[in-house]
Amino acid sequence: MSAPRALADIESVRLVVGLEVHVELATRTKVFAAVGNPAHPEFDGAPPNTLIDPVVLGLPGALPVLSHAAVEVAVRVGLALNCRIAEQSKWDRKSYFYPDLPKGYQISQYDLPLCFDGHLDIARTDANAEGHAHPDPSKGTRRIGILRAHLEEDAGKLLHEAPGGLPIDTTIADYNRAGAPLLEIVTQPDITSADEAVAFCRTLRGICRFLGATEGVLQKGHMRFEPNINCVLTLRDKRLIRTPIVEVKNLNSFRAVRGAIEAELRDQPARWVQTGIEHAPGTKQTRGYDERALGESGGGPSDGGATVLQREKEDAHDYRYFPDPDIPVLDLDPAWVDSLKRAIPDLPDKRYRRFTEDFGLSPKEAAALIDERDDCLFFERIVDLLVERDVPRSRAPKVAANLVLQTGLKHANAKTTGQPEKDADAGGHAVEADTTESAQSAAGPALVSALGISPEQAAAIGVMREDGRLSAANADALFAILCEPDMRGRNAEGVAEFRALLTVRDDAKLDAWCDQVLGENQPIVEQIKAGKLQAVGRLVGAAMKLSAGAGDAKAIRDRLLEKIGVKE
């Protein structure tokens, strides 16, 4: 009889994680059927069971035809992940019976995937004040191996409430998603922490979005993450115990990925103490993640929830894979693959290096800008326009970053979530963008590029700000005005003049405001002369009030200090 087990017997715990990531490709049609794809913006929000045809439903006599666009997008992603691209691959039927799978099998790839043997270098993480970590490429990288990336069709979706959120006492099936092109990316078990897993997911999402492979809205299920987790336990007697692998299904947020992995890291040692089951064939489990559940170790909602057993995991032979007889073997021309490789745009890591090394932005600013493709391209266009309008190239990126990360994200966040974004710090520098799920709505992240203001209008604000014709407050007000639908295409300078937002540049008026404020606030003047320089802010505020907001705060500050006789 074996000796009883106890947590005290465990000397150390090492986490081992591999990821399966399902990416819904944003091609216009499905992978084997000429019908609309719900992951494409044109068909987003289509009523249930309207994106179907005989092929999707598997009706007798309906034959699948492979989408060239889906193959092209999949190969582009594979190349970006440094994968080898198979010159020949085939399609297999993965058989299982579930209500959301109308044919009773899924067309997938088994032993000859389209992309294989790749890797992705992820940024090492830097913990923030809340204890969560975000990728910081300046701290170096970690290489995660890519086992394979294969193309397959998605299943449908089971609904437990009626459209519109109405309650029902049954489950209904929506087959709109069935047959949508799905790229499944499988990593090697190289991930050693929840933070590394989140960094991988963030990096992969950025790559796929910059390639145009997916819209990447996590709340819509465009990417679904499934970590495979187990632990290596070192016992006090130096024996090594490997816990059974747990696959956590269908996570669609970075927070859930982190929570599920941390919950398993906490609970797997206690589970082994309770059951004594070690990693072996047939021991793998499929679990779901519930942030309100209690785990085996006693951990609960206060420390991230727990995973919940769904079923014992099937092995490959349970799916009865066999080659699909209706789809020919796929042969790819190496010259065509090379042409796709040459056409890959600059990906987030390369843009990050350019933003920090050439543009002089901080790591946090650069990381925030590459987090959303559309805002990144919006920023780059503003930089080009500022340079065209004679803003020095050394200065233009900082001006553009302030417009996007400070003014723009504040308005985007307020529009999307109702919670204002942080303003600039006391020095007028852009703050780090809030890219957490809490800053996003069900419609997706807050995007500056979706507000309605054009890069040309934003650049004009930057030019007027640099010229001293717009105060910080009026620049913010003008930005908000130009986001209004009836301001599309309007000349930003003309709008600023019409709305009386331009700064008064009249030396006589400037002197009058400053003289009045100095005369009425002699005690503060004496404090400034005594070295309390920060007190000048109160005088600046008083002068701005006299000017009814038409003065330039920096010019007023400089003139006040000049009149007081104090230099900074």
Q: Helix/strand/coil (H, E, C) string of 91-137? A: CEEEECCCCCCCCCEEEECCCCCCEEEEEEEEECEEECCCCCEEECH
**pLDDT confidence of residue 547:** 82
Q: Where in the chain is the domain with CATH 1.10.10.410?
A: 507-564
Q: Is 433 helix (H, G, I), strand (E, B) or coil?
A: coil
CATH architecture for segment(s) 507-564: Orthogonal Bundle (1.10)
Highest mean pLDDT among 56-70, 93-107, 114-128: 56-70
* CA 73 to each of CA 36, 79, 514: distance values in angstroms, whole numbers, following the listed order: 17, 10, 62
- Residues with Cβ within 8 Å of 308's Cβ and at least 6 positions away in sequence, in order, are 287, 288, 289, 290, 293
pLDDT at 8: 83
Cα separation, 24 vs 36, whole angstroms:
13
The pLDDT tens digits of the residues spanning 22-48 come to 999 999 999 999 999 999 999 999 999
Q: Does pLDDT of 92 surpass 80?
A: yes
List, for residues 266-278, the tens digit of each pLDDT value: 999 999 999 999 9
Angle, CA of 213, 377 and 447, to the nearest 5°:
85
Beta-bridged to residue 251, according to DSSP, are 225
Supply the pTM of this predicted model. Answer: 0.83
Q: Give pLDDT tens digits for 367-425.
A: 999 989 999 999 999 999 999 999 999 999 999 999 999 999 999 988 876 655 444 43
**Average pLDDT over every residue of 3-20:** 90
**Do the Cβ atoms of 243 and 272 come closer than 8 Å?**
yes
Instruction: Provide the 3-class DSSP secondary structure of residue 199.
Output: helix
Query: What does the pLDDT average to over 516-539?
Result: 91
Distance, CA of 516 to CA of 554 (rounded, Å): 18
Report yes or no: 179 and 206 within 8 Å, Cβ to Cβ: no
With beta carbons less than 8 A apart as the criterion, state whether 214 and 22 touch: no
DSSP assigned state of 193: S
Residue 555: its H or E element: helix 553-564
Split at pLDDT 50, 70, 90, the class of 427 is very low
